[in-house]
A and B are shown apart, each in its own frame.
Chain A
């Protein structure tokens, strides 16, 4: 009843092509953004339920936002362009370490040329964005094989990226500024004089990044470039025949996806972790992102959010429910249960709903529009 388009006439082409053509969608999104930008920080500042302690903000919302951003990046490559990637974790690492190097100053001695390249420490915002750009560069480099190979073969190529960069950040001390333990600390989060420190400020920072990038991505995938990606995904030879350049389409998908993943990696390291080591971006992270995208919905920006939320919340629920029921499980059992539940869910979803939760949501919308009629 509430979700009905009757009476919403489109009188101009611009309205027809609007990003959210249905009024209820716009209102809903506005309310959601209002809650996220104003409601949550207010509640958290005054410690009103459910934000009594910082747990919800710090342990759930912050990682959710950053991983949702990384999932959007993964979704652009896997869901929209159909190039399966097991190397997302590596691109997060590239974003994080490049941002770290740029944020603490780069010094490359070129002894054989007689001089050294020195860049003074950059502001945090610049180093995060440049970290994303560095990831985009590496993404293009490791995307080049996708012009000759595809599908499972490409998965192995991206796996090469994952293991190679794992090794680089572990073994090349230059990247960690010769830290003896291999673990590095993020520079102070200073944005034009305002220092981001408390959980609420960190949350708002991530939220801003996620909102801006999600809107950009949403616009990108419904435009010319996004349609090229989807044509390549659906059948690359046919796409080539109708005049889409695979080189351009595939490499832009790699670049955009790696940029977003790189920014997410920098945020994960700087804002959420604070101090980190290469293990934070291992193959497990890549698989986790892939699962978020599959469960949330391949080829859906909103699905990335739903998938990220789901993957984060299931382990927490597994921790809470048995304790509430009075049968506390050991951490080991919980880890194993988590494995089994994730695995079965992925199989179940692939069989029953290959388009993930995003598809379920759009089915619900469709039903609502036609309600009370079944057709």
Chain B
């Protein structure tokens, strides 16, 4: 018999780490919605943002800046780097490929991934850099109800909080600002948006910039959890099943998909893993995504895919 307390602990832990997957998946959804590009480079962008931030922080603190100033300047520096990256990508890769089919664009973002990974590590170094922006100790809840209580990591709570603020901010941005509306127009129809005078290349720059900033936020949380290192790019691969499950075009879907994947893989690992060898976490999300694809190809929240000749 599985103790309820243990189950709840695993479930909550899974949900919280699912939120972190959602943070990465959000970046994908933003770009896909606005430009139809499936951005394989999101993981590399998280790495780049994280490395820029952590190296700037180290340098500033070593030079005697107070901690708060270093954090502000470091985040500003990383944001500037992401803005530059967004401009370069739009100018040299996505811009010239306008109106190509989705597969070509996807493959070009694989190319971008390699460039970003190589450049980020060459400029900022390729070691593991610890980042300490959020507390990482744990809380014990409901100790009176369950023996030992339920362990919750403070970092996960911070991550959930940040994800919530981010989604609310993005929703407001898309709904109420002029640029946000232009973004939605471009997402609906490039050509129509272009013909009513929306500057497409500017919009795409904004989209990549926003995705870069989301990557920066994801990097602060993931960097605190794992340290900023190369393996952070594999997050991008983990975010793919999250997207498939939630639906490629839906921001709430990215959150829901993340929660499902996070909780599902933790529960499978703890309760199913020991009987078939462990390490299920490695592939569980993908097989779950495969199952969802077979039943509902557009994902749980995605728009129905309609094809015309």
Residue of B nearest to A293 (CB): B107
Q: B118 contacts the other chain (Cβ, under 8 Å)?
A: yes
Q: In the complex, what's the smallest C-beta–C-beta distance from A153 to chain B, in angstroms?
A: 6
Task: Compute how far the CA of A160 lies from the CA of B103 in the bound complex, rounded to whole angstroms.
Answer: 19
List residues of chain A with CB within 8 A of the CB of B286.
156, 159-160, 163-164
Q: A267 contacts the other chain (Cβ, under 8 Å)?
A: no
* Contact between chains at B122 and A333 (CB < 8 Å): yes
Q: A347 contacts the other chain (Cβ, under 8 Å)?
A: yes
* Contact between chains at A350 and B107 (CB < 8 Å): yes
28 chain-A/chain-B pairs, Cβ below 8 angstroms: A145-B293, A145-B294, A148-B293, A153-B244, A153-B293, A155-B106, A156-B241, A163-B283, A166-B282, A167-B279, A167-B282, A171-B277, A171-B278, A237-B309, A238-B309, A294-B107, A336-B121, A339-B114, A339-B118, A340-B118, A343-B115, A343-B116, A345-B111, A346-B114, A347-B92, A350-B111, A351-B97, A351-B108
Q: B200 contacts the other chain (Cβ, under 8 Å)?
A: no
Q: B112 contacts the other chain (Cβ, under 8 Å)?
A: yes
Chain A contact residues: helix, strand, loop or mixed: helix
List residues of chain B with CB within 8 A of the CB of A241.
309
Q: In the complex, what's the smallest C-beta–C-beta distance from B21 to chain A, in angstroms?
A: 14
* Contact between chains at B309 and A235 (CB < 8 Å): yes
List residues of chain B with CB within 8 A of the CB of A237.
307, 309
* Contact between chains at A351 and B96 (CB < 8 Å): yes
* Contact between chains at B118 and A164 (CB < 8 Å): no
The residues in A between 89 and 121 inclusive whose CB is less than 8 angstroms from any CB of B are: none
A84-B103, A167-B283 are known contacts; what are 5 more A-B pairs with Cβ within 8 Å? A156-B290, A337-B122, A340-B119, A343-B111, A346-B111
The residues in A between 301 and 354 inclusive whose CB is less than 8 angstroms from any CB of B are: 332-333, 335-340, 342-347, 350-351, 354
Task: Compute how far the CA of A172 lies from the CA of B58 in the bound complex, rounded to whole angstroms.
Answer: 44
Considering residues B118, B278, B289, which has the most beta carbons from chain A within 10 angstroms of its beta carbon?
Answer: B118
Q: A122 contacts the other chain (Cβ, under 8 Å)?
A: no
Chain B contact residues: helix, strand, loop or mixed: helix
* Contact between chains at B293 and A156 (CB < 8 Å): yes
Residue of A nearest to B125 (CB): A332
List residues of chain A with CB within 8 A of the CB of B282.
163, 166-167
Residue of A nearest to B38 (CB): A152
The residues in A between 136 and 158 inclusive whose CB is less than 8 angstroms from any CB of B are: 145, 148-149, 151-153, 155-157
- What is the interface of chain A, defined by CB distance below 8 A to chain B? 82, 84, 145, 148-149, 151-153, 155-157, 159-160, 163-164, 166-167, 170-172, 235, 237-238, 241, 283, 287, 290-291, 294, 332-333, 335-340, 342-347, 350-351, 354
Q: B62 contacts the other chain (Cβ, under 8 Å)?
A: no
Asked if A332 meets B111 with Cβ closer than 8 Å, knowing A337-B118, A350-B104, the reply is no
Task: Compute how far the CA of A241 lies from the CA of B309 in the bound complex, rounded to whole angstroms.
Answer: 10
* Contact between chains at B290 and A346 (CB < 8 Å): no
* Contact between chains at B277 and A159 (CB < 8 Å): no
Task: Compute how far the CA of A337 lies from the CA of B119 in the bound complex, rounded to whole angstroms.
Answer: 8
Task: Compute how far the CA of A163 lies from the CA of B285 in the bound complex, rounded to whole angstroms.
Answer: 10
Residue of B nearest to A345 (CB): B111
Task: Compute how far the CA of A155 lies from the CA of B240 in the bound complex, rounded to whole angstroms.
Answer: 10
Q: B117 contacts the other chain (Cβ, under 8 Å)?
A: yes
Asked if A283 meets B237 with Cβ closer than 8 Å, knowing A170-B279, A171-B278, A347-B111, the reply is yes
* Contact between chains at A156 and B240 (CB < 8 Å): yes
Considering residues A163, A170, A237, which has the most beta carbons from chain B within 10 angstroms of its beta carbon?
Answer: A163
Mask of B279-309 contacts with A, CB within 8 angstroms, 1/0: 1101100110110011001000000000101
Task: Compute how far the CA of A343 lies from the CA of B112 in the bound complex, rounded to whole angstroms.
Answer: 6
Q: In the complex, what's the smallest C-beta–C-beta distance from B39 to chain A, in angstroms?
A: 11
List residues of chain B with CB within 8 A of the CB of A342.
111, 114
Residue from A170, A290, A338 in contact with B118 in the complex, judged by beta carbons closer than 8 Å: A338
Residue of B nearest to A333 (CB): B122
List residues of chain A with CB within 8 A of the CB of B231.
none
Residue of A nearest to B280 (CB): A167
Q: In the complex, what's the smallest C-beta–C-beta distance from B241 to chain A, in angstroms?
A: 6
Q: B113 contacts the other chain (Cβ, under 8 Å)?
A: yes
Residue of A nearest to B114 (CB): A343
Task: Compute how far the CA of A159 lies from the CA of B40 in the bound complex, rounded to whole angstroms.
Answer: 13
Residue of B nearest to A351 (CB): B96
Task: Compute how far the CA of A82 lies from the CA of B103 in the bound complex, rounded to whole angstroms.
Answer: 9
Q: In the complex, what's the smallest C-beta–C-beta distance from A154 to chain B, in angstroms?
A: 9
Q: B93 contacts the other chain (Cβ, under 8 Å)?
A: yes
Asked if A153 meets B111 with Cβ closer than 8 Å, knowing A338-B118, A351-B93, the reply is no
